Chain A
Amino acid sequence: MATLAAPACATAPASTQSGLWSWIATTDHKRIGTLYLWTALAFFLIGGLEAALIRTQLARPNMGFVSAETYNQLFTMHGTTMVFLAVMPLSAAFFNYLIPLQIGARDVAFPRLNAFSYWVYLLGGIFITLPILFQVAPDGGWFGYAPLTTNQFSSGPNIDFWVIGLQILGVSSLAAAFNFITTIINLRAPGMTLMRMPMFTWMSFVVQFLLILAFPPITVALVFLLMDRFFGTTFYAIAQGADPLLWQHLFWVFGHPEVYILILPAFGLVSEVLPTFSKKPLFGYNVMVYSGIMIGFLGFGVWAHHMFAVGMGAVADSIFSLMTMLIAIPTGVKIFNWIATMWAGEVRFTVPMKFAIALIAMFTIGGISGVMHSSPPADLQQTDSYFVVAHFHYVLFGGSIMGIFAGIYHYYPKITGRFLNERLGNVHFWLNFIGMNLTFFPMHFSGLLGMPRRIYTYDAGQGWDLFNLLATYGTYLLVIATAVFVWNFVRSRTRGAIAGGDPWGAATLEWSIPSPPPEYNFAQIPTVTSRYPLWDLKDPSWHEGEDSHGDTGTPGPSPLREETETHTAKALGIPMPYPTAKPAFAALGLVVMFSGLLFLRNDLFAVAMTVTLGGAAMLIGGLYAWLTSPLE
């Protein structure tokens, strides 16, 4: 098949900006996406390191590698880091980088708000991560159940960092979600109807709605906790008549949609990878869209399955059990459609393809153990045991992380203009795949043998020893695998093979422009007439005899005008947003404002007020300067 005449360039033609300040002041969605990618990978390494320490402590019975207190901080920060600082922002890196490219836009709807989201994330991430270096990290689990996390049971500053940190990170996620909703609705290129959008953009679209609806309940739950801790309210004070289930319900109203926030972007990524390397359109595109929407919608109706053990009564148990079984259907549909996409395709087993296939297999295992939990009597046996740990690591590591790695290998050439090394990639994949299964599969057994979660050590002779040792070895394999990946990731930036605009023979708009893309993305905004514009371009008859793929026909024969794409925005007369550090300044103000609360713990009321009001002044001043200055 003829390849598109794409220039083989490895550096952005219009990349005139460099230096630290250009990154702080950037409003380019691609640079912000790159910042998200690097930052989130750094947090992924920190979260992984915490996991390695946890597994070292659990390698053998009665180990004294870390203290019980440190262990609590480690598992809390492992979960918090992986969920809020690694997987969500890795997804956000792809939202930022890919959504405008996939819909044929020059940037997101609000470029400066986008920068603000990133800086709030970075500063919030640092805020919540630093305390572990001083042994005062949050220690109440990533779900922070109150009343455990109230002053009565957690009187130190540990939980303060968690409550305030999550509040800060919520601002980042919400701001980004409003931005992407607007971008996807309103910045699509001519002809890019909703039912022609690439599947990654579709799944991202669903996720943004989950974000704007799931974050308010946890914001409220955190405000209650914050007020209980700092201002003596009684939301979680059992002695005053408070209900111990209030936190759990509010948290899981957020927590279960959060699960889909973590997995749907990965689903989107593999839905881009599988058609590309099977040389076939995605099987059942419409059904994939509807099942994604269905998962998002039903995701708000299953939260209490996390709480079967608290005894909600037969009616509530039955409803949530039924809803949980129901949500497995659209998820199962996706699995079958991915398999059918590969069926009879010209499958190329590249590294991204291997990660995508691994997602299908591993997520299915995690999905099936998930359906086991949907039955309350079975759940009562499994809840709070290592079986549950095995389950959610199969969906989060086997699902989200595998999908994100598929995305990184797939899109690295687009982002950097160079391939990741395929041989190192294969080593990474196999070590990762074996390591993951060696770590988490034995946990099914230790869990069913009764090993509870969150214990810092255990006695010998309960049948758990072998499974724990295997899991620890598996974790060490994962550490090696990740080191190989990091080496590959860093080294390929300068030494990877040069990739053209469309190195994989993919079909969607982001591959029609050079790699890395110029700052304005598209010299001319394309007009789209089908779901697979680049395949149409290369071989107009490629899908004859198949269904129409949303193709409405009768497009004009106007090929891409590649020659213009190596000019600067200025030469082409395309207005670009000014670089500005005002969003970063406002983000700093927000974080300073929240951190003032920390001083209340030591009754430093004047200091707290000064810091909080100072931060608020920075935030308002930054916002004012930002809103009154022109965008471009």
Chain B
Amino acid sequence: MSDTLIRLAGVEKSFVKGKEKISIFEHLDMTIPRGDFVAIMGPSGSGKTTLLNLLGGIDSPTAGEIQFAGERIDSHSERQLSKWRSDHVGFIFQFYNLMPMLNAAQNVELPLLLKPLSASQRKNNVAAALEVVSLSDRAKHFPREMSGGQQQRVAIARAIVSDPQMLLCDEPTGDLDRTVADEILGVLQLLNRELGKTIVMVTHDPAAARYAKRTLHLDKGKFVEREELAA
């Protein structure tokens, strides 16, 4: 049990649109061990991003339980979830979601401002995170001065700077060409292998999924097939 980082049990998710109730998940069970690298694939509307949002505590299930390291997060308040996310989760988005008015180092520093760290501690952590993604020389560059791949590296540095256990990636290479995408996926694989980060990655791209240890296929709110792949 100690190896299980995330457990979903009987998770339901639905919302009401007009008079119609739309169900995303009716009864979803899932377990992700610590140190896993899972790719989640599936057609549009299958619930991939909703699942990622539930795992990241930015959306809540209609019913069922979500546990993280044995702790139920589905019953947390908004404030508790904010704190939980800052402690345990790093997000990586398709369009990087960097703050355009901040340079790379300032973007990476954002999660650290939530921690009781001194300015010099924050500076050291930012430098270390940028080092991991090989962008130390771009610390003072603004997003508009960087390529898509570099921006995604900054986003990865921001996701790992406060040393979270889990990285949630929503189409992290969806906006990048193949070569750059492979570089980014290589970085994620490195983070999983070397630093032991548990990674859940939503992707449409089978080539991207091959970097994961296993792939889950989601369709109409259900896992329809499970493949365990050696990366």
Partners in one complex: no
Name A's B-contacting residues (CB within 8 A). Answer: none
